[in-house]
Amino acid sequence: MTAEYQVHGDVAVITLNNPPVNGLGLDTRRGIVDGLERAQADAAVKAIVVTGAGGAFSGGADIKEFGTEKSLQEPNLHSVISAVENCAKPVVAAIHGVCMGGGLELALGCHYRIAAPGCSVALPEVKLGLLPGAGGTQRLPRVVGVEAALNMIVSGEPVKSEFIGAVPGQKLFDRMAASPESLPEEALAFARSVAEARPLPLVRNLPCKHPEGDAYFQFARNMVKGMAKNFPAPAKCVDAVEAATRRKFADGLQYERELFINLMWTPESRALRHLFFAERAASKIPDVPSDTPKRDIKKVGVIGAGTMGGGISMNFLNAGIPVTILEMKQEALDRGIATIRKNYEAQVKKGKLKEDKYQQRMALLSTTLSYDDLKDCDLIIEAVFEELGVKEAVFRQLDQVAKPGAILASNTSTLDVDRIAAFTRRPQDVVGMHFFSPANVMKLLEVVRGKATAKDVLATVMAIAKKIRKTAVVSGVCDGFIGNRMIERYSQQAGFLLDEGCTPSQVDKAIERFGFAMGPFRMGDLAGNDIGWAIRKRRYVEKPDMKYSKTADLLCEMGRFGQKTGAGWYDYAPGKRDAIPSPMVEKMVEEHRKALGIAPRKISDEEIVQRLVYSLVNEGAKILEEGIASKAGDIDMVYLTGYGFPIHRGGPMHYASEVGLFNVVQAMKRFARNPLDDARAWEPAPLLARLAAEGKAFA
């Protein structure tokens, strides 16, 4: 059992021991109940301490068990907490490290609680699309007050134990230990001090009221409405806490349980749970063990102070790592540094960054025009023009000056990392680090693994990505890597939709209603339509038989590159970013349609969404099959963190699995029969076809 039982004189100690965070899985739940029974049967035992081994009291219910047989087996968490409450001897929770979700609910069922400082206390279920389902919504308001409890439950954010412990009148902790180290001894002493106390105090018996009742809960509902867009859980959290103030405890508990079970079956919760595991799995590379030694990164060099170089540098400065930026000319350096300053100053102005922190960060930044100044850098990231010849000159020079063992990274978005690596005599030290614009804001980092990239280089880059708070996903070498390779298919479909009868705003609105942050045409205007134009020009040569709508080329021929030229698919008022549908563009689309002899048809939102999303899915399946991505979850992470795919849909691959791959393939076959579409693009990837035939999902 993953809970240990020991007796220390007259106190029994039940220690949850289910690494990594003492999740309350079936074995652990059984262990707790077993420990309670042994303690009650032993006359020498006067009190019981429940605590956690390692760095956590408990991270809550074992999320891996959700949806499995084990989660249904008794004792469930309710039964465990009930066993604790009904224990004839005092039960003291000794809390440290992490006390979250079901862990906090277990602690709230104990008769007493002693906490070490520094412990993260939370009911984070809402982040999994759930609400606390083992009494958290009923007990927490009784000990910290309705408003503080609702705040914790709806935000899911952790609060430090010493902070709650210091609030006068709160009854969450009966005692604060001096330190995590002294907690075990202090918990034993506390348990002895309450050994004879009777009746035993129960949180469930405390009153639960809010002085402004109706008005407060109405206010709370209005508050969560905005933030809960697309997610049902926050509003249910309000309902459950309100029930704590209005119903008898047992009724409230029952109500909470019903809400919890209903939420567990929602696609939104499944998406968030998928995201939780996919995010953690993305940082693991199948053939790179987690104990692979990492190289020390104490100083970073960045080549190019343009759009990307500046943002990339800020990431490291924010993490306290010194950066030297190299440029060709002083003017370019001055421009780049001015942009970095402007970005930081905007944060200071908004109160998001303190002036002294800003100055500390700038003090870590140095500039140079000479490669000699990069020789002590441990990691050098190139962000110069996207031309192989320019990259070659840079990497040949780096090879001359960089110290042995320095990691040489390229931020290229389309070029072959293996060819770049071949410009050096150390291809094992070369890797792609594909940041997304604005690089200081966007979470995604595609780590491009070359043929020769050493495992310790990958391990180091993944670790440094975590340090600079990026979600790193490994991609193999291919044109566009994971994200841009897929987006090309999506853009191709967006173009066909215009040819067949849509306007840009109709397409954008449909996919934005599905939940995307921005539709393809608004996105094109933001990123610059000339980027896609350059790629298509290359494709017309490389793949002359590939089908594209010509409308995007016609748009670019009109000089409408997007926001940067004040006009793109949409019109823009000077200095504004609001997309205004453009009569001129709509006319251009119509005329092009006429020239092609196409009679426009009315296209439903459903068809728009399916064609855009399934085009991503099919290319994603190919990427998976070719081993460019090692897991479907990695592809989802790329889309969720880099391309504005709706979080509540869980990413393209998860969403396709939710729809059912059989249905996805059926729709693709239907689209392939459309003579105006590209039938070859809709040919299901063999992996997709196989999984659909076997009735399986992407793992």
Is 529 among the residues that bind ligand NAI (CB under 6 A)? no
Q: Does 413 bind ligand NAI (CB under 6 A)?
A: yes
Q: Rule CB under 6 A: is residue 77 a binding residue for ligand 3HC?
A: yes
For ligand NAI, the nearest residue by Cβ is 306
684 is a site residue for ligand 3HC (CB under 6 A): no
- Three-state DSSP class for residue 369: coil
Position 475 contacts ligand NAI (CB under 6 A): no
Q: Look at residue 524 and give the partner it binds from ligand NAI, ligand 3HC, none, a contact being a CB closer than 5 to 8 Å depending on partner kind.
A: none
Cβ 157 to ligand 3HC shortest distance, Å: 10
672: contact with ligand NAI by CB under 6 A: no
Q: Which of 93, 98, 220, 486 binds ligand 3HC (CB under 6 A)?
A: 98
Please report whether residue 64 would count as binding ligand 3HC according to CB under 6 A: yes
Residue 275 or 487 with smaller CB distance to ligand 3HC: 275
- Pick what 100 binds: ligand NAI, ligand 3HC, none; C-beta below 5 to 8 Å, kind-dependent: ligand 3HC
384 near ligand NAI, rule: CB under 6 A: yes
Distance between CA 596 and CA 575 in Å, rounded?
36
Segment contacting ligand NAI (CB under 6 A): 115-123, 407-415, 560-568, 661-669?
407-415
Q: How far is the CB of 311 from ligand NAI (least distance, A)?
A: 8
Contacts of 23 (CB under 8 A, 6+ apart): 58, 59, 60, 61, 62, 63, 64, 65
* Total residues belonging to the chain: 699
- Contact mark string toward ligand 3HC, 392..431, x via CB under 6 A: ----------------------------------------
What are φ and ψ of residue 412, in 5° steps? Answer: -55, 145
Q: Is 437 in the site for ligand NAI (CB under 6 A)?
A: yes
**Exposure of 578 by Cβ count < 10 A (0-12 exposed, 13-18 middle, 19+ buried)?**
exposed
Cα(668)–Cα(670) distance, integer angstroms: 5
Q: Which of 209, 229, 280, 696 binds ligand 3HC (CB under 6 A)?
A: 280
With respect to ligand NAI, which residue has the nearer C-beta, 141 or 309? 309
Nearer to ligand NAI, 110 or 523 (CB): 523
**Binding ligand 3HC by CB under 6 A: which of 31, 90, 124, 480?**
124
What's the min distance (Å) between Cβ of 446 and ligand NAI?
Answer: 9
Please count the helices (runs of H) and the strands (runs of E) in the chain. Answer: 29, 19
Q: Is 21 one of the binding residues for ligand 3HC (CB under 6 A)? A: yes
Site for ligand 3HC (CB under 6 A): which residue of 133, 234, 524, 633? Answer: 133
C-alpha–C-alpha distance, residues 317 and 467, integer Å: 11
DSSP for 302-352, written as a single string: EE--SHHHHHHHHHHHHTT--EEEE-SSHHHHHHHHHHHHHHHHHHHHTTS
Phi and psi at 12, nearest 5°, equal: -90, 140
| Interacting positions 295-334 with ligand 3HC (CB under 6 A) | none
Question: In angstroms, rounded to a whole number, what is the distance separating the alpha carbons of residues 201 and 46?
Answer: 16
# residues contacting ligand 3HC (CB under 6 A): 23
Name the residue among 252, 104, 96 with its Cα closest to residue 179. Answer: 96
Task: Candidates 31, 59, 336, 642: give the one binding ligand 3HC (CB under 6 A).
Answer: 59
- Contact partners, residue 412, CB within 8 Å, separation at least 6: 382, 386, 391, 420, 432, 434
Q: How far is the CB of 269 from ligand 3HC (least distance, A)?
A: 10
Cα torsion through 541, 542, 546, 550, rounded to 10: -40
- Name which of ligand NAI, ligand 3HC, none residue 328 binds, using a CB cut-off of 5 to 8 Å depending on partner kind: ligand NAI
CB of 484 to ligand NAI, least distance (A): 9
Token pair in block for residue 390: 């320019």
Token look-up 């939780």 returns 276
Range in contact with ligand 3HC (rule: CB under 6 A) among 62-70, 264-272, 439-447, 526-534: 62-70
Q: Which phi and psi (to 5°) does residue 325 adopt?
A: -100, 135
Q: Which residues of 390-427 are buried (b: 16+ CB within 10 A; e: fewer)?
A: ebeebbebbeebbeeebbbbbbbbbbbbbebbbbbebb
Cα gap 128→650, rounded to integer Å:
11
> Is there binding between residue 304 and ligand NAI (CB under 6 A)?
yes
- Residues 407/295, Cβ–Cβ less than 8 Å: yes
- Give me the amino acid identity at 144: V
Q: Which amino acid makes up residue 77?
A: L
- The kind and range of the H/E element at 406 are none
User: Does 72 help bind ligand NAI (rule: CB under 6 A)?
Assistant: no
- Cβ atoms of 326 and 380 closer than 8 Å: no
Asked if 138 interacts with ligand NAI (CB under 6 A), we say no
Nearer to ligand 3HC, 209 or 284 (CB): 284
Stretch that binds ligand NAI, among 340-348, 383-391, 399-407, 550-558 (CB under 6 A): 383-391
Q: How far is the CB of 329 from ligand NAI (least distance, A)?
A: 7
- Cα distance between residue 692 and residue 684, in whole Å: 10
677 part of the interface to ligand 3HC, by CB under 6 A: no
- Sheet architecture: strand order including 98-100: 98-100, 120-122, 159-160
**Other C-beta atoms lying within 10 Å of the C-beta of residue 283:** 16
Q: Which is nearer to ligand 3HC, 445 or 507 (CB)?
A: 445
Closest to ligand 3HC by CB, 281 or 442:
281
Interface residue with ligand NAI among 53, 390, 518, 676 (CB under 6 A) is 390
Site string for ligand 3HC, 134-173 (x = CB under 6 A): x-x-------------------------------------
- Using alpha carbons, select from 635, 639, 641 the residue that is nearest to residue 620: 635
Provide the CA 58 distance to its chain's centre, in angstroms: 22
Among the residue ranges 120-128, 356-364, 381-389, 452-460, the one whose residues contact ligand 3HC (CB under 6 A): 120-128
C-alpha torsion sign, points 548, 551, 557, 561:
negative
Quick one: which of 527, 308, 329 has its CA closest to 410?
Answer: 308
Which residue stretch of 106-114, 159-167, 242-250, 406-414 sits at the interface with ligand NAI (rule: CB under 6 A)?
Answer: 406-414
Look at residue 672 and give the partner it binds from ligand NAI, ligand 3HC, none, a contact being a CB closer than 5 to 8 Å depending on partner kind: none
Burial 219-235 (b: 16+ CB within 10 A, else e): ebeeebeeebeebbbbb
Query: Which residue sits closest to ligand 3HC, CB atoms considered?
Result: 101
Q: In angstroms, what is the minimal distance from the CB of 275 to ligand 3HC?
A: 12
* Only segment of 233-241, 302-310, 606-614, 683-691 that touches ligand NAI (CB under 6 A): 302-310
Question: Which of 466/601 has CB closer to ligand 3HC?
Answer: 466
Q: Which residues are known to be catalytic?
A: 105, 125
Of the listed pieces 85-93, 99-107, 246-254, 467-475, which binds ligand 3HC according to CB under 6 A? 99-107
**List of residues contacting ligand NAI (CB under 6 A):** 303-309, 326-328, 332, 383-386, 390, 393-394, 411-413, 434-437
**List of residues contacting ligand 3HC (CB under 6 A):** 20-21, 23, 59-64, 77, 98, 100-102, 105, 124-125, 128, 132-134, 136, 280
